[in-house]
DNA sequence: CGCTTTTTTGAAGATGGTCAATGGGTGTGG
DNA sequence: CCACACCCATTGACCATCTTCAAAAAAGCG
């Protein structure tokens, strides 16, 4: 958590101390298991310790729309701190381990150390920037570009957090979930994956993303990482 | 601003006092004039005093993707407080008047009165909830539902803020901008508007939205306002 | 090995996009 | 006052993209 906040915010020793004093509960999750559901009122904030989680809206007809994907170090429901009712569901994608920090303790820490609150506030703002990019991605880009862009974003974020091995990233998603995130049918997901593979830029198979040619992938996805607001600018 | 924060947050007298002490600069804008541009580093936060503003991403090919629309009382760039570089542009839709409050003063106020900071934090979180809904709307709903949903959201928010006259709302948008917000071509926007008009639920003409049948519009748009996290639950 | 789940493929069809032309309204200048 | 230009809305025809549906192949898993 500390490492992650430092990716984008300056924190003093006392802020770090304050973080270390926070209590928490840890719990593992099965693939596809919900962590918090739409309509719930959480009293603790989740922090991903390992694995991945996703957030999704449930549609009238039972379909899902995935809104974002989160990796180790992310707080996928920080908004629960100041918004009573969840308007979406958070669920584990593969196996995941989550820590829960009581809201009351966090709020107390923010009052003692405003800078800590500002850092987490900033994290929720970056979250919003990622949502904005998803609006643009899903609304205005053709399917190939759209998928390439998502892969760029996921790989880039994982890279910054040190979660990639060389050019590989574990991505516990299936075609259905990819489609539910990108707003395309499973058939199109499959065919688009093939196009990407043929292009030699990236390959996604069996839950592993392998970047063959980052420059090409970035170009295909029209990816410009400024919106992620991370310090390490262009590291690839 | 006070009225708006109170729609969703509890504030004490001292918080209100703190707000009243903030200094600001007011400036009018022409239709389509940019308020803050992608890449800029703002030092003051904008508050809409009258009119409407929109936020948009600029695409490679020069097209725009509108991300959200904001009405009187909104702070469309609160994220600028803790994010240095704008990742999108804010622009006036019709004629608009904007107040600018220096970031430094706001941060000082937050340190003095954490509850005030939490209230504005909450506002940025509701913003994010609106973005999430836009992802779902633009990715997973057919054009008629999608447009109906947007109209529901805009009318509902305006209604809560007391900006509607009976069943009418001034919406300084043209078909191009509607299309750029909903991810559809101008031809489809036009044809979809006609369908809505024929359905007898809503009419949009010459920058005025007229709700003929709210219940029907809500049904068409699969609109469920919980995601707006406003206190006044179902007021229509 | 049988069962389920996931991926892959093909063909048909619908939705929405592109393009091009038309029309209405408004403002400007001759 | 009229002619013209310009912006925005409107319409039609054609076409591309993507979805749907159905079925087969492949991959886990008891």
**Please, which pLDDT band fits residue A15 given cuts at 50, 70 and 90?**
confident
CA A28 distance to own-chain centroid? 18
pLDDT tens digit sequence for A100-141: 999 999 999 999 999 999 999 999 999 999 999 999 999 999
pLDDT tens digit sequence for B69-87: 999 999 999 999 999 999 9
The 3-state DSSP class for residue B39 equals coil
CB of B121 within 8 Å of any CB in chain A? yes
Smallest CA-to-CA distance from A225 within A158, A157, A163, A137 is with A157
The 3-state DSSP class for residue B216 equals helix
CA-based torsion, A113, A116, A122, A123: positive or negative: negative
Of the two residues B231 and B182, the one the predictor is more confident about is B182
Element (H, E) at B156: helix B143-160
pLDDT tens digit sequence for B172-185: 999 999 999 999 99
Return residues 192-231 of A near B (CB < 8 Å): 222, 226-227, 229
Quick one: pLDDT at residue A235? 54
Question: Mean pLDDT, to the nearest integer, of A41-62?
Answer: 94
Query: Which residues of chain B neighbour A110 with C-beta distances below 8 Å?
Result: 114, 118
Residue A236 has pLDDT above 90, yes or no: no
- Strands of the sheet containing B53-58, edge to edge, are B34-36, B89-92, B53-58, B64-70
Quick one: pLDDT at residue B17? 80
Taking CA atoms, what residue in B is nearest to A115? B111
**Please, which pLDDT band fits residue A28 given cuts at 50, 70 and 90?**
very high
**Please, which pLDDT band fits residue A234 given cuts at 50, 70 and 90?**
low
The 3-state DSSP class for residue A65 equals strand
Query: Which residues of chain A neighbour B88 with C-beta distances below 8 Å?
Result: 132
Q: Do B149 and B141 form a contact (C-beta atoms < 8 A)?
A: yes
The 3-state DSSP class for residue B71 equals coil
Spacing of B187 CA from C20 C1' in Å: 13
Nucleotide closest in space to B176 (CA vs C1'): D8
Return residues 57-96 of B near A (CB < 8 Å): 57, 59-60, 63, 65, 67, 79, 82-85, 87-88
Question: pTM of the predicted model, to two decimals?
Answer: 0.95
CA dist., res. A39 & res. A152, Å (int): 32
**Please, which pLDDT band fits residue B4 given cuts at 50, 70 and 90?**
low
Quick one: pLDDT at residue A1? 61
The answer to whether the C-beta of B190 is closer than 7 A to strand C is no
Residues 138-197 in A having a C-beta less than 7 A from any atom of strand C are: 174-176, 186-187, 190-191, 193-194
CA dist., res. A46 & res. A80, Å (int): 9
Residues 170-199 in A having a C-beta less than 7 A from any atom of strand D are: 183-188
Residue A196 has pLDDT above 90, yes or no: yes
**Please, which pLDDT band fits residue B95 given cuts at 50, 70 and 90?**
very high
Interface test with B, best of A39, A82, A150 (most B CBs within 10 A): A82
The answer to whether the C-beta of B143 is closer than 7 A to strand D is no
Q: Do A59 and A65 form a contact (C-beta atoms < 8 A)?
A: yes
Q: Which phi and psi (to 5°) does residue A142 adopt?
A: -65, 165
């Amino acid at each position: 958590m500390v490492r992650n906040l430092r990716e984008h915010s300056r924190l003093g020793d006392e802020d770090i101390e304050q973080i270390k004093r926070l209590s928490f509960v840890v719990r593992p999750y099965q693939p596809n298991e919900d962590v918090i559901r739409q309509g719930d009122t959480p009293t603790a904030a989740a922090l991903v310790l390992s694995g991945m989680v996703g957030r999704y809206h449930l549609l009238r007809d039972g379909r899902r729309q995935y809104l974002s994907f989160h990796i180790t170090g992310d707080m996928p429901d920080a908004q629960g701190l100041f918004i009573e009712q969840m308007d979406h569901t958070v669920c584990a994608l593969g196996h995941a381990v989550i820590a829960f920090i009581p809201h009351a303790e966090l709020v107390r820490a923010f009052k003692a150390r405003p800078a800590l609150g500002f850092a987490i506030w900033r994290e929720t703002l970056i979250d919003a920037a990622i949502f904005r990019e998803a609006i643009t991605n899903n609304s205005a880009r053709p399917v190939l570009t759209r998928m390439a862009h998502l892969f760029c974003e996921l790989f880039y974020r994982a890279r910054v957090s040190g979660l990639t091995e060389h050019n590989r990233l574990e991505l516990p998603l299936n075609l259905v979930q990819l489609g539910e995130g990108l707003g395309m049918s499973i058939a199109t997901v499959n065919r688009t994956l093939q196009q990407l593979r043929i292009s030699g830029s990236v390959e996604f198979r069996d839950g592993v993303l392998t970047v063959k040619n980052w420059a090409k992938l970035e170009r295909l996805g029209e990816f410009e990482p400024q919106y992620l607001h991370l310090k390490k600018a262009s590291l690839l």
